[in-house]
Structure 1
Amino acid sequence: MKPVLATASLYLALLAGAPQHAFAENPAESRQKIEAVIKAFGKAILDKDKEGFMRLFLREDITWVPVYTDASVARYRANLSDPAQPVPKVQGGTPRKFIESIARAPEARSETFDNLRIDTDGEMAQVLFDYSFMVGDYRSAWGKESWQMVRTENGWRIAAVVWSAEENPVPPPKK
Structure 2
Amino acid sequence: MKPVLATAALCLTLFAGAPQRAHAENPAESRQKIEGVIKAFAKALVDKDKEGFMRLFLREDITWVGVYTDGSLARYRASLKDPKEPSPKTESSTPRKFIEKIVRAPEARTETFENVRIDTDGEMAQVLFDYSFMVGNYRNNWGKESWQMVRTENGWKIAGVIWSAEENPEPPPKK
TM-score scaled by structure 1?
0.91
Partner of 1:162: 162
- SS of equivalent to 2:92: coil
Q: In the alignment, which residue of structure 2 is the partner of 1:30? A: 30
Deviations 1:97-147 (A, max 9, x none): 000111111110000000000000000000000000000111000000000
**Which residue does 1:131 correspond to in 2?**
131
Change (3 A) 1:8 1:130: farther
Measured in 2, the distance between the counterparts of 1:88 and 1:4 equals 66
Q: Secondary structure at the match of 1:91?
A: strand
For residues 109 and 91 of structure 1, the distance between their equivalents in structure 2, rounded to whole angstroms, comes to 19
Residue pairs, 1:5-154, within 5 angstroms: 6=8, 10=12, 14=16, 22-154=22-154
CA distance in 2, matches of 1:8, 1:133: 59
**Cα distance change on mapping 1:71 and 1:6 into 2, 3 Å:** same
Paired with 1:70 and 1:7, the residues of 2 have a C-alpha distance of: 65
Secondary structure of residue in 1 paired with 2:90: coil
Deviations for 1:68-117, whole angstroms, at most 9, x for unmatched residues? 00110111111122211111101200000000111111110000000000
**2-side partners of 1:8 and 1:53: how far apart?**
49
Assess, with a 3 A threshold, how the Cα gap between structure 1 residues 14 and 127 changes in structure 2: closer, same or farther.
farther
Structure 1: gaps of 5 or more residues: none
**One-letter code of the match for 2:12?**
L
Is it true that 1:171 corresponds to 2:171 in the alignment?
A: yes
Aligned partner of residue 140 in structure 1, secondary structure: strand
Give the 3 Å change call, closer, same or farther, for CA 115–5 of structure 1 in structure 2: farther
Q: Residue 18 of structure 1: CA displacement?
A: 6.5
TM-score by length of 2: 0.91
Structure showing greater Rg? 2
Deviation at 1:10, TM superposition (A): 2.2
- Give me the whole-angstrom Cα distance separating, in 2, the residues matched to 1:147 and 1:7: 45
**3-state DSSP class of the match of 1:40?**
helix
Q: Percent identity of the aligned residues?
A: 74
Moved over 2 A (4+): 1-5, 7-11
- In the alignment of these two chains, the number of paired residues is 172
